[in-house]
Amino acid sequence: MSPQSTSVAVLIGTIVIVSLMRPDCTAIRENNEGFKLCVTSMRGVKDLSHQNITSVPSSLSNETQYLDISYNAIQTLEGTEFSGLSQLCFLKAAHCGLREISATVFTHTPALKILNISNNDLPFIPDISLKQLKILDLANNLYTSYELPACFQNFTKLDFLSLGSPAALSVSYGDFDALMNVSVQHLALGAGTHWQKYESGSLAKIKSLKKLSLFASFCGTFGMFENLLVDLNVTQAKMLRFISLFPDSCNVSDNPFKNLRTMPFIQNLTLENTWINSTFMVVFMKNVWLSPLHELSFVNITYNEDTPDGFHLPTINHTINLSSVIFNGVNHYQYRYPTINMSFEAFSRLTYLKFSGTGMNILPCRVMTALPSLEILDLSDNLLTESGFWWTPCSHSSVFPKLRKLSLSRNRFSSLSFISQKTHQMNTLESLDLSFNSIHLDGECYWPAQLTELSLGNNNLGNSVFAYLSSDFEKIDLSKTGITSIMQKDLTRFSKLTHLTLSSNSIQVIPVDLSVPALLSLHIDQNAITSISREVLAGLPRLQKLKAGGNPFVCSCDSYWFITAFNNSLIVDWPLDYTCNTPLSFAGLPLSEYKPSKLSCEMWLQAAVALPVLIVISAAVGLAFHKCDGAWYTKMLWVWIRMKRRGKKRSNILNNASFSYHAFISYSNQDSDWVDTHLVPTLEGAGFSLCVHERDFVPGEWIIDNIINCVESSYKTLFVLSKHFVQSEWCNYELFFAQHRAISVHRDSLVFILLEPIPTNSLPKKYLRLRSLLRQQTYLEWPKDDRKQQTFWASLKSTLHIADKSVVLKDIAVAISDTVPLVADQM
């Protein structure tokens, strides 16, 4: 029979043995839902599983929201075990060997919504009170009956209930009376054993039931199974999931699913972990054709062809209702291709088809052309390559006329350029999934304009991958593709891009100039990003969803804006996946609990606070500067430094020369009469050489230079103090320079002559040094009495006599200073 014929032998795949694993039907979505429903901070998560504890620790924080004590040796839960855990919302105590649970043990946990006490040794279903409970897992215990205690009537918010015990082999009529007024939506029932009895009407009492997951075997007791279907029709259940319904090698000779034809509410049917013969398959599919089923799934089945022609279904005269068919995991019992002969025309309403985990390596031709309504095709987890999908014997003139989404994930595709060209044959294709393949960037890619979504996740592509993508793409998934950096130039072409996924790469920095105006969703979780700045997200004005958890965030001001100002409702994984990585003092701290002060991180606020403080300090310093004559001292310091630098050369030359004068006389011009008539004649008459400014200052030189030169050329400096002296600006300069010389060169070079009493408190503030000197140093006071004047002159002369041996003629010193430059020039 040719591949192009209407009735075809469909090659499902090469011989692949898919291990038949019995799923734990009670291991439902609890963990994911538990975190989403219960946990607001990782501080509230406590995992004590595999700790060899024998009781619940009493030291648990009252902030605990999620507690896992599974795989320990806890045989009883008593009344005070959870005292103080008022926020506990999720409790898992599986595989603990539990034998007894006190009726009051959950008195102190009013917020408990999820309870998993499966896989224990409970001899009966516990009588507990939990008004907020939504999910309860009691599967795989040792109770012998499914009869529920009266307390279950109070579980008004219960949504999912899992019951199962290998010792419970029958279901009695009154077992589920407690659920008659409870809005349980999903019931998982059974432990994989063969039921001995099911009393009709038992499940019909659960009026709110929408989904049943039945884990029980009915081989040889199909009448019991038919009664169960009748009860499910009463409940108006829409979804049925049968696990291990027929054990291996079960000979299904009857028609156990004939009641499907008369169940108007059934929409979804799943057969999981079961043995299916081709003989049963024919009978089963006939019932499906005549039922209102919309979705049919086969999960982890073992298929056995017990007929020579394989699965052969005669032509159907009417259109079936099925819109979705799933084969997810097929274990082929025979070591050959299974053969399926059927008409594709019967599937005119089929919009979703999945062949995953079947070992398929060649896609049948008719799948491409004979399914006119097919919109979604999932061929993930197979052995397909480019040559197997676009099989040469097939005609590709009309390929998938309405196909919108195609998943080729987890196959063996490699050439991105070849695939891009072949997708032009699919005129309606909008989404393509090539994740988990061995894709190479082997040449230019030419994508069809209608293709707007591409997933290349988990292929080693690198930073250059953006150059091989179409500017028409709206959704791009490049998670775990080896990208180490992104640049604005990489994304400039994608003006239509609305969704970008870059999870699980090695990106360290998001460029501040990033601009993708149309972007609605950005996933950058599991990278090496340390902070997200305001400037980055400013280029994403339409962003509605951000996922950035699992990055090594630095808890510093770099993260301040992201924590405090960004709208956290847009972050899908906030706050659980956000923790501080550095500095070490904050390592492990939830980012939501890092609260830096606004002042420490906002520069404008720091400036606003610092500016007034700086102004006040500057004003205070300026006022003190003014009050203490700081301007004058500053001016003198500048003059002193300037003159020191200018006179450095000369001072070095005269370093060993003697003084030219015994004393330089500093006085006010208003005291010149006393100086000219008494002081100068008396001392010069006694042989002393004096420097007087009116006589000895060098004409044409700056006054300051003359003062400095005279002070440095004199052994002593005589200050004639009077009220006029302290009012003279020039006397003030002379005192200033003489003070500095006294400190640095000759500490006893100052001699004070007091013409008239001057109270030290009356001196100006700039004479602070003079005040101190008058208090600490002896000074000569000019007496009015003639006899005392003789003593005055004697004391003054004795002060100057010690310099006689050091004083040389002024002209000799000048001659030396004139001669040294000449000698230096000759050398």
Residue 528 shares a structural domain with residue 601: no
Residue 554 shares a structural domain with residue 700: no
pLDDT of 287-319, one tens digit each?
888 899 999 999 999 888 888 777 776 666 777
Residue 535 placed within a domain: yes
Boundaries of domain holding 601: 597-624
Residue 508 placed within a domain: yes
pLDDT score of 202 more than 60 = yes
pLDDT of residue 269: 96
Task: Band the pLDDT of 335: cuts 50, 70, 90.
Answer: low
Which CATH number do you get for residue 502? Answer: 3.80.10.10
Residue 773 shares a structural domain with residue 695: yes
Separation CA 465–CA 454 (nearest Å): 12
Residue 555 shares a structural domain with residue 698: no
For 644-654, what is the mean pLDDT? 47
Which CATH number do you get for residue 671? Answer: 3.40.50.10140
pLDDT score of 823 more than 50 = no
Task: Band the pLDDT of 680: cuts 50, 70, 90.
Answer: confident
Separation CA 1–CA 21 (nearest Å): 35
Residue 563 placed within a domain: yes
pLDDT of residue 747: 52
Task: Band the pLDDT of 32: cuts 50, 70, 90.
Answer: low
Residue 540 shares a structural domain with residue 617: no
Residue 422 placed within a domain: no
Residue 516 placed within a domain: yes
Write a three-state SS string for 395-435: CCCCCCCCCCEEECCCCCCCEHHHHHHHHHHCCCCCEEECC
pLDDT of residue 773: 65
The two tokens of residue 728 are 């003279």
Helix-, strand-, coil-residue percentages of the chain, each rounded to 5 = 30, 20, 50
For 513-535, what is the mean pLDDT? 92
pLDDT of 777-814, one tens digit each?
667 788 877 777 777 787 777 777 655 544 544 444 44
pLDDT of 81-96, one tens digit each?
888 899 999 999 999 9
Q: Which of 252, 263, 249, 315 is nearest to 286 (CA)?
A: 315
Residue 731 placed within a domain: yes
For 166-182, what is the mean pLDDT? 94
Separation CA 693–CA 720 (nearest Å): 13
DSSP 41-66: -GGGEEE-TTS--SS--TT--TT--E
CB 522 within 8 A of CB 510: no
Residue 605 shares a structural domain with residue 716: no
pLDDT score of 533 more than 90 = no
Residue 675 shares a structural domain with residue 605: no
Task: Band the pLDDT of 29: cuts 50, 70, 90.
Answer: very low
pLDDT of residue 431: 97
pLDDT of 122-158, one tens digit each?
999 999 989 999 999 999 999 999 999 999 999 999 9
pLDDT of residue 21: 31
Q: Where are the beta strands (DSSP E) in 17-120?
A: 45-47, 66-68, 76-77, 90-92, 100-101, 114-116
pLDDT of residue 741: 66
Residue 492 placed within a domain: yes
Give the neighbor-by-neighbor strand order of the sheet with 7-9: 7-9, 340-343, 311-312
Q: Where are the beta strands (DSSP E) in 173-323?
A: 186-189, 197-198, 211-215, 239-243, 268-272, 275-277, 295-304, 311-312
Q: Picking from 144-153, 345-354, 649-658, which range would have the lowest pLDDT averaged per residue?
A: 649-658
Residue 338, preceding peptide bond in cis (omega within 30° of 0): no
pLDDT of residue 597: 64
pLDDT of residue 712: 79
Residue 524 shares a structural domain with residue 667: no
* Mean of all residue pLDDT scores within the chain: 82
pLDDT of residue 765: 59
pLDDT of residue 694: 78
Higher pLDDT, 321 or 92: 92
Q: Which residues contact 92 (CB under 8 A, 6 or more apart)?
A: 30, 49, 67, 68, 69, 70, 116
For 757-767, what is the mean pLDDT? 66
Provide the number of structural domains found in the chain. Answer: 3
Residue 673 shares a structural domain with residue 705: yes
Higher pLDDT, 640 or 573: 573
Higher pLDDT, 621 or 407: 407
Task: Band the pLDDT of 674: cuts 50, 70, 90.
Answer: confident
pLDDT score of 696 more than 50 = yes
Residue 203 placed within a domain: no
Residue 676 shares a structural domain with residue 792: yes
Separation CA 81–CA 105 (nearest Å): 7
Q: Which range, 448-452, 649-653, 725-729, 815-819, is most confident? A: 448-452
The two tokens of residue 541 are 């004005």
Q: Which range, 30-44, 171-185, 345-359, 748-762, is most confident? A: 171-185
pLDDT score of 14 more than 80 = no
Higher pLDDT, 366 or 544: 544
Task: Band the pLDDT of 22: cuts 50, 70, 90.
Answer: very low
The two tokens of residue 684 are 């010069």
pLDDT of residue 560: 75
For 626-638, what is the mean pLDDT? 63
Residue 732 shares a structural domain with residue 698: yes
pLDDT score of 465 more than 80 = yes
Residue 609 shares a structural domain with residue 672: no
Percent of the chain surpassing pLDDT 70: 81
CB 20 within 8 A of CB 329: no
Does this model's pTM top 0.75? My answer is: no
Q: Which of 81, 80, 75 is nearest to 56 (CA)?
A: 81
The two tokens of residue 136 are 């309860």
Task: Band the pLDDT of 453: cuts 50, 70, 90.
Answer: very high
Separation CA 96–CA 569 (nearest Å): 39
